[in-house]
Amino acid sequence: MIRINDNYLKLPGSYLFAAIAAKARAFRQTLAVDDVISLGIGDVTQPLCPAAVEAMHRAVDELASSETFHGYGPEQGYEFLRKAIAAGDYASRGVKVSPDEIFISDGAKSDTGNIVDILGCGRVAVTDPVYPVYVDSNAMAGRAGDYTGTKWDGLTYLPCLEENGFVPQLPSEKVDVVYLCFPNNPMGTVLTKDELAGWVGYALENDVLILYDAAYEAFITNPAVPHSIYEIDGAKKVAIEFRSFSKTAGFTGVRCGFAVIPDELAVEAGDRKVRLNELWKRRQCTKFNGASYISQRGAEAVYSEEGRRQTRSTIEYYLSNAAYLKGALEEIGLKAFGGTDAPYLWVKTPGGMPSWDFFEVLLRYAHLICTPGAGFGPSGEGFVRFTAFGSRETYVEAARRLKKLNM
């Protein structure tokens, strides 16, 4: 008899961003509306940086000739890209990461979702609100218990509230794995070096693995905020870091990202210690054939002088959108957080309105799409998230519509 993985049956509805896309589609079709502005999913709008485009064109030309053709690449990723990352993202900040500790992938979403494959059962903690991939992938693996309508009873939630400055507090119960995402999706907040050091110290003392999603590190403007968890001493013993080219260089449609699994990161397994990067390599060799050669050549070019200049200017553009929208939201009396070191604004709903209701109001009366905070976890209730990835004209128009709403 065919049996399914019935953990899937416990998942509520559809994946958050798919559910929002379906609602927006239905709204457009039913009311024949064609001016909906999406500030929901963080899909970038600025084109790929020209340095990456040129590199990808050259890569296609190579693949077009039998002399320079490339077939399957190394599962861990091409060395040229791993070297560029080790130098450009880490050595440049005084952090030693070897190219052998880097695993290229098709994005941080896949990596943060797939990493559960190499972990056994244990108590998992997530910040709340949280990027839904961490929660759903643990639920699919049977590690989240049951869904109670707002949360999973097998997970430990670390509430990030206005009252605690949206900073997660250390778990009060024993956990084995903690997901941290900074700059944070969805709240757009960051951790200071001391706060992050507190987490690393806690993980070292309590034998906890930190899964550190740094997909938005390129948006950090505050020089006191760490870009990598490995800027903290001892972190290589306890943390895996995930990064992405999606939002940094317009790779949402191209797909490329990477995970760093340090050599020192080893866990007890019976009477021996097992290095997690060996397990991950084993997993990737079996289930993954690598990001495409074209994507990897494009990603390599992001580290060139022009690539850096071009991506910097795109990021500044997105951050200026965030500042513009924040100003407009504040003008109409809404409280907005984040947006200075991240492409996300975390906005309090007017009068404590439930976040899905506010989503409906914005869609119906302003034709604007946001992401309801409750979709990110129980502590997201009373907030919505706006992204900063649109064109400036989009934000000017969004601000005009918000002002007309008269909240």
Residues near ligand MLT (CB under 6 A): 41-42, 109, 185
- Nearest-approach distance from CB 389 to ligand MLT, in angstroms: 8
Tokens of 133: 């991939």
- Nearest-approach distance from CB 40 to ligand MLT, in angstroms: 7
If one counts every other C-beta atom within 10 angstroms of the C-beta of residue 6, the result is 8
Query: What's the helix, strand, coil split of the chain in %, to 5?
Result: 45, 15, 40
- Nearest-approach distance from CB 100 to ligand MLT, in angstroms: 27
**Residue 59: C-alpha distances to residues 165, 232, 258 (Å):** 46, 37, 20
- Nearest-approach distance from CB 382 to ligand MLT, in angstroms: 19
Of the pair 42, 380, the CB lying nearest ligand MLT is at 42
Is-contact 254 291, C-beta < 8 A? no
- In the three-class reduction of DSSP (H, G, I as helix; E, B as strand; rest coil), residue 303 is classed as coil
Of the pair 41, 266, the CB lying nearest ligand MLT is at 41
- Nearest-approach distance from CB 3 to ligand MLT, in angstroms: 30
Of the pair 135, 265, the CB lying nearest ligand MLT is at 135
Is-contact 190 341, C-beta < 8 A? yes
Of the pair 134, 280, the CB lying nearest ligand MLT is at 134
Write the DSSP assignment of 131-166 as a string of letters. -HHHHHHHHHTT-S--B-SSSBTTEEEEE--GGGTT
* Calpha distance 139→150 (Å, rounded): 14
- Nearest-approach distance from CB 185 to ligand MLT, in angstroms: 5
Of the pair 41, 361, the CB lying nearest ligand MLT is at 41
Beta strands per DSSP E along 175-316:
177-181, 209-213, 239-244, 257-260, 266-269, 272-275
Of the pair 99, 257, the CB lying nearest ligand MLT is at 257
- Nearest-approach distance from CB 388 to ligand MLT, in angstroms: 11
Of the pair 180, 197, the CB lying nearest ligand MLT is at 180
**Residue 399: C-alpha distances to residues 234, 328, 362 (Å):** 45, 6, 12
- Nearest-approach distance from CB 42 to ligand MLT, in angstroms: 3
Q: Kindly report the backbone phi and psi dihedral angles of residue 295, in degrees, each rounded to the nearest multiple of 5, phi listed first.
A: -60, -40
Give ∠ CA 214-244-344 in degrees, rounded to 5.
60
Residue whose beta carbon is closest to ligand MLT = 42
Is-contact 213 131, C-beta < 8 A? yes
Backbone torsion region of residue 207, taken as left when φ is above 0, otherwise alpha when ψ lies between -120 and 50, otherwise beta: left
Of the pair 181, 240, the CB lying nearest ligand MLT is at 181
